[in-house]
Amino acid sequence: MIRTKILGLGSYVPDRVVTNEELAYLDDQHVRQETLQTETSDEWIQKRTGIRERRYVPNDGTWSTSDLALHAAKRALTDANIDASEIDCIIFGTLSPDMHFPGTAVILQKKLGIDKTGCACFDIRQQCSSFVYALQMADAFVRTGMYKRILLIGAELHSHSLDYTTRGRDVMVLFGDGAGAMLLGPVESEDPRDGVMYTSAHADGSGAMDLYLGLFDIAHRPYLFIDPKDRETNRGMYPQMDGKRVFLNAVRAMVMSTQAALANTGMSWDDIQWFVPHQANLRINEKVVEVAKIPPEKVLNTIQFYGNTTAATVPLTIDHWRREGKVKKGDRILSSVFGSGFTWGAAIFTI
Ligand code: ACO
């Protein structure tokens, strides 16, 4: 029987480390100023979110989301010992695409030098849940024999689209730049626990306006009706969030999808080495761990160092702890995610 195996993994974060202390002094170009720009503090951010620092790309106008993805993809290709020309499908998850259209997968395809191979390119828009949605797609494609070398990417460049003022502080402090990549392909196996064992993906569109960015509002004419310099109207350039509703729904959905993953596969925490939740907020993850009774020593987080990198968080976190020597080849992971939409899901897979 054909099952889907994870052939390689890679991630990338930019070099610039922005601490909570520095964040308060950044202007809208994220250049440090002498005077305070945002009323916030290291104490508030750490207490409410667990975040200590995040990474930002240089603000010289040369970096796009696809560049972050390219670095992560190259590392995953090296890890899998696969040449880029073998890729027959790219699935790219991001909420910060290089441009409105075309999708970022084709831009990455060109940067990988495989634009003439004709490989299929998908962009998916499930925000913080993109990894599980993409894994479900990849698993279905591989099992049916549709594609044999799938590059799954989650990448985000958030630092250029945040409101670096007290008005935007609830959202601005949360996000960082980064990318994660996985290569997936078929393996012949009769063991139902091999490779990608389980995926579930869900959505509830009634939560759409609890976390959104309304910049391209196609109902309006013109659909871009923002003066970027006008503080009255430029709110629409930045993500808007009802933090409390996101928090409550995230905990509920991540607990339920984690419990369902175990129930539907007949697995227990004895069968699973690591729990890798989406990295939105350390307090969300601590609550999920408490309510779902997950052994705390099995939980992997990276939000402290990278902030919320949205579609990238799960592969980035796995790769981070693999490089630290914690995660080993053959380990089984349960991942649970929640994001804007609302969207959520869970997956069990062997790395
Ligand atoms: N620094 C200092 N003060 C702040 C900041 C900040 N960065 N942000 C908000 N505040 C203030 C508020 O203005 C408010 O002040 P007030 O009492 O004078 O009105 C006070 O802090 C408390 O604000 P609340 O919104 O009640 O704070 P809360 O405890 O809900 O924490 C937070 C806010 C951290 C955003 C929380 O709601 C949360 O974690 N929500 C989950 C959202 C999330 O994780 N989103 C990630 C993206 S979505 C995803 O990845 C799934």
pLDDT for 225 equals 75
* Residue nearest to ligand 1 atom 46, measured at CA: 280
Question: From CA 307, how far away is CA 282, in angstroms rounded?
Answer: 10
Q: Which atom of ligand 1 is nearest to the CA of 48?
A: 34
On the question of pLDDT at 72 being above 90, the answer is yes
Whether residue 22 has its Cβ less than 6 Å from ligand 1: no
* Residue nearest to ligand 1 atom 10, measured at CA: 170
User: If you count them, how many residues does the chain have?
Assistant: 351
Sign of CA dihedral 93, 97, 103, 105: negative
To the nearest whole number, what is the mean pLDDT of the chain?
A: 96
Mark 294-320 as b/e (b = at least 16 C-beta within 10 Å): beeeeebbbbebbbbbbbbbbbbbbbb
Question: From CA 111, how far away is CA 135, in angstroms rounded?
Answer: 23
**Which CATH architecture fits 2-188?**
3-Layer(aba) Sandwich (3.40)
Give the start-to-end residue ranges of the domains of the chain. 2-188, 196-350
290 C-alpha to center of ligand 1: Å?
21
Whether 121 sits among the annotated catalytic residues: the reply is no
Task: Using most ligand atoms within 8 A of CB, pick from 48, 244, 337 the residue to mutate for ligand 1.
Answer: 48
User: pTM, whole model, 2 decimals?
Assistant: 0.95
Q: Which atom of ligand 1 is nearest to the CA of 339?
A: 51
Active-site residue (options: 121, 128, 202, 301): 128
Could you report the per-residue pLDDT of 203-212, keeping only the tens digit for each? 999 999 999 9
Could you report the per-residue pLDDT of 118-168, keeping only the tens digit for each? 999 999 999 999 999 999 999 999 999 999 999 999 999 999 999 999 999
Whether 128 sits among the annotated catalytic residues: the reply is yes
Contact between residue 159 and residue 56 where contact means Cβ atoms under 8 Å apart: yes
Q: How many helices (H) and strands (E) does the chain have?
A: 10, 13
pLDDT for 193 equals 85
CATH topology agreement for domains 2-188 and 196-350: yes
Task: Give the lowest-confidence range in 18-32, 217-231, 272-286, 301-315.
Answer: 217-231
* Residue nearest to ligand 1 atom 8, measured at CA: 170
Proportion of the chain above pLDDT 90, given as a percent: 91
* Residue nearest to ligand 1 atom 22, measured at CA: 170
Identify the CATH assignment for 196-350 out of 2.70.98.40, 3.40.50.150, 3.40.47.10, 3.65.10.10.
Answer: 3.40.47.10
Phi, psi of 344, rounded to the nearest 5 degrees: -160, 175
Contact between residue 124 and residue 150 where contact means Cβ atoms under 8 Å apart: no
Could you report the per-residue pLDDT of 327-343, keeping only the tens digit for each? 999 999 999 999 999 99
Whether residue 243 has its Cβ less than 6 Å from ligand 1: yes
Whether residue 48 has its Cβ less than 6 Å from ligand 1: yes
Could you report the per-residue pLDDT of 210-255, keeping only the tens digit for each? 999 988 888 888 888 788 888 878 888 999 999 999 999 999 999 9
* Residue nearest to ligand 1 atom 35, measured at CA: 243
